[in-house]
């Protein structure tokens, strides 16, 4: 089950996957979840993961309720809320050529590891059967510029990715009581000739 911490768990998972991959570069580069506020140090080089949008996945909107059992009753639970998380990934090294090499490694890592599951999952997702699908989600230059303008920073070389389907389970459970007895009532009507 994925509780309310699932968004943070996805961010931690991406941070871990990228840090492992970028750690092999010379010099090593780190990945960190960041809100892009304040000063971002350029040494050591890093990649920031900025979660800029959370939305509902429309393709999973009409999933059926989940049936369960609490003997002798039946439980009905709303299907999980399917989320799509969109991230802006930005290299920070102080050198354009290094930024481009770092970005190339990020693209390679995300392309090769387009599905994250199993031991790679962090936090509450660890040990679950969840699988995160990661896809490059290109934005137009204007859309990307709006993001940078919203966080009041000058535009930097960056890429956007979307992660789906992130399931957020509902806490609402309906319990349907089992039928334990029934009454059959017969009524005899008088027939008239």
Residue 45 contacts residue 98 (beta carbons within 8 Å): yes
Percentages (nearest 5) of helix, strand, coil residues in the chain: 25, 30, 40
Helices (H), 92-186: 96-112, 141-150
pLDDT of 192 above 90: no
pLDDT of 173 above 80: no
Q: Interhelix angle for 96-112 vs 6-22, to 10°?
A: 120
User: What is the average per-residue pLDDT within 117-132?
Assistant: 91
pTM: predicted TM-score of the whole model, two decimal places: 0.82
The alpha carbons of the chain give a radius of gyration, in whole angstroms, of 25
What letter would DSSP give residue 189? P
Higher pLDDT, 79 or 89: 89
Higher pLDDT, 32 or 169: 32
Residue 76 contacts residue 61 (beta carbons within 8 Å): no
Q: Domains for the chain: give ranges and CATH numbers.
A: 6-58+81-171 (3.30.2000)
């Amino acid at each position: 089950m994925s509780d309310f911490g699932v968004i943070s768990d996805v961010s931690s998972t991406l941070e871990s996957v990228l840090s492992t991959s970028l750690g092999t570069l010379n010099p090593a580069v780190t990945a960190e979840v960041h809100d892009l506020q304040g000063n971002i140090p350029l040494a050591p080089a890093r990649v920031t993961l900025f979660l800029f949008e959370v939305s509902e996945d429309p393709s999973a909107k009409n999933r059926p309720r989940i049936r369960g059992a609490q003997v002798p009753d039946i439980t009905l639970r709303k299907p999980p809320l399917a989320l799509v998380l969109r991230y802006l990934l930005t290299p920070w090294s102080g050198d354009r050529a290094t930024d481009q090499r770092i970005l190339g490694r990020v693209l390679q890592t995300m392309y090769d590891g387009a599905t994250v599951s199993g031991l790679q999952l962090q936090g509450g997702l660890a040990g679950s059967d969840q699988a995160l699908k990661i896809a490059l989600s290109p934005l137009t230059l204007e859309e990307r510029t709006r993001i940078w303008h919203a966080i009041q920073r000058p535009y930097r070389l960056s890429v956007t990715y979307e992660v789906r389907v992130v399931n957020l389970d509902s806490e609402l459970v309906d319990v349907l009581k089992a039928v334990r007895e029934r009454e059959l009532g017969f009524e005899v009507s008088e027939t008239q000739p």
